Structure formats: C-alpha cells, structure tokens
Amino acid sequence: MEIILATHNKGKIKEFNELAKGTELNFIPVPGNLTFPKEIGTTFFENALIKVNFAFSLTGKTCLGDDSGLEVDALNGKPGINSSRYSKESTDESNMDKLLNELKGIPHEDRSARFKCCLVLIEEGTNKLISSEGTIEGKVAEEKKGDKGFGYDPIFIPEGSLLHTAEMDQKKKNLISHRANAFGPLITKLLSGPTEK
Ligand code: IMP
C-alpha cells in the first residue's frame, strides 16, 4: 500500500520507510514541488493536519502528515511547535545555541524535556482521519555531542541512556523515537479495518 508523505524532505521519506519495514506500506513524497502552506497551527496536531490536508487536496490518495518538536519544561514547553524556527537564523546550530543559552545555570535534574510527534493520516476512499501522538522523554544536555541525526539530537539525552541522540545510529534511534512511538499505533489503527479508528 502506497502512502504519500506530506513532505519534500527525502530524509523523512527514508525514515518512514525504515519504520515501515516488515509491513506492506511504502512511503513516497508528495508529487511536484509546490510550497506547503504556512504552519499556522497552535498545536502539533493542527500543523500536521495543515500538511496532510494540503497533500490530500493535491492527490486524493492516502496521505500522512507529521509535525514534531522539542518541549522543555524549564521553558514552559518552548520551543515546541516553533522548534525548527526557534532562533533568528533557524539553523540546527543556532537553534541549539539559543536553547543552551536559555538553560545556562539550570542543573541537570531540572532540564527535563521531550520530543513529541503527531501523525495525521487521511485515508483514500473513506476520507477518514486517523491520528496518533508519540513522545520520548529525556533531558537537555549541557553541551553538544555526536554528529548523527538532525535538529536538537546533539543536545538531547533520552531517559535511561548515557548517549546523546546524535551519538546513536539511526536504527537505534528509530526503535525509541517519538516518531516510532506515534507510528506503531497509527499503523495498527490503519490496518485494523474500517471500525475503531
Ligand atoms: P518538523 O516536524 O519537520 O516540522 O520538525 C520540527 C523540528 O523539531 C525539527 O526541525 C527539529 O528541530 C526538531 N525535531 C523534530 N524531531 C527531531 C528529532 O528526532 N531529533 C532532533 N530534532 C527534532
């Protein structure tokens, strides 16, 4: 079964296909290179919905939208839905630098945070909406470590781990990530038939 992922990002397509390994699902990018509408939602769900609605209106096929980000308790949930554009320059480096700066002096035990991911799927034919949320709890480190992954991975330490996420290989991260935790239940709902969505 083919599912159109509401993104032009090749890395995301690859990650979702890795998560779908062993299932009958195959993720492909939204066709063309039209710019996605602005993410003006106030929650991860609303922004995922904006993306999937756009892809579904273009294709009429089963589409999946996702939105994710990092919530830091000491900052009342910031950067949250603004994770990718937290700093003025909006690069991974500048976003992390801004966050580390804001948490300067805050002891390790008070640096709790979580990545959150919301997935919203619209099913071809039924037009049914299926959604799911996943999280991974952890702490914001005092310094960057590792060169794998993307975004805030160099400064995030998952609960129960000694490694920063950017020190983990992709397979290990995929086993525990917020996207993986949202993906499993979503696929169960999708493949469980017309009821119970
Ligand atoms: P989006 O879901 O593509 O809008 O991404 C939101 C932003 O959240 C990314 O640009 C990253 O800054 C951050 N983010 C989301 N997931 C991850 C992750 O797995 N690792 C590190 N940063 C992430």
Rg (CA), the chain: 17
Distance CA 117, CA 182 (A): 7
Ligand 1: which residues within 6 Å by Cβ? 66-70, 83-84, 95, 115, 149-153, 177
Name the burial class of residue 59, with classes exposed (0-12), middle (13-18) and buried (19+) by CB atoms within 10 angstroms of its CB.
middle
Peptide bond into 107 cis (omega under 30): no
Return the best residue to mutate from 40, 83, 156 for the ligand 1 pocket (most ligand atoms within 8 A of CB).
Answer: 83
- What atom of ligand 1 comes closest to residue 179's alpha carbon? 19
pLDDT at 194: 59
pLDDT at residue 197, rounded to an integer: 45
For the CA of 177, the nearest atom of ligand 1: 19
Ligand 1 centroid to Cα of residue 194, in Å, is: 32
User: How do the pLDDT tens digits run along the chain, 197 residues long?
Assistant: 999 999 988 888 988 999 999 999 999 999 988 889 999 999 999 999 999 999 999 999 999 999 999 999 999 999 999 999 999 999 999 999 999 999 999 999 999 999 999 999 999 999 999 999 999 999 999 999 999 989 999 999 999 999 999 999 988 888 899 999 999 999 999 888 654 44
Name the token pair of 153.
């991975």
CA of 141 to the centre of ligand 1 (A): 17
Q: Whose CA is nearest to atom 4 of ligand 1?
A: 67
Which of 12, 44, 68 for a ligand 1 pocket mutation test, highest count of atoms within 8 Å of Cβ? 68
**Choice from 89, 94, 144, 152 to test ligand 1 binding pocket (greatest atom count within 8 A of CB):** 152
pLDDT number for residue 192: 83
pLDDT for 78: 98
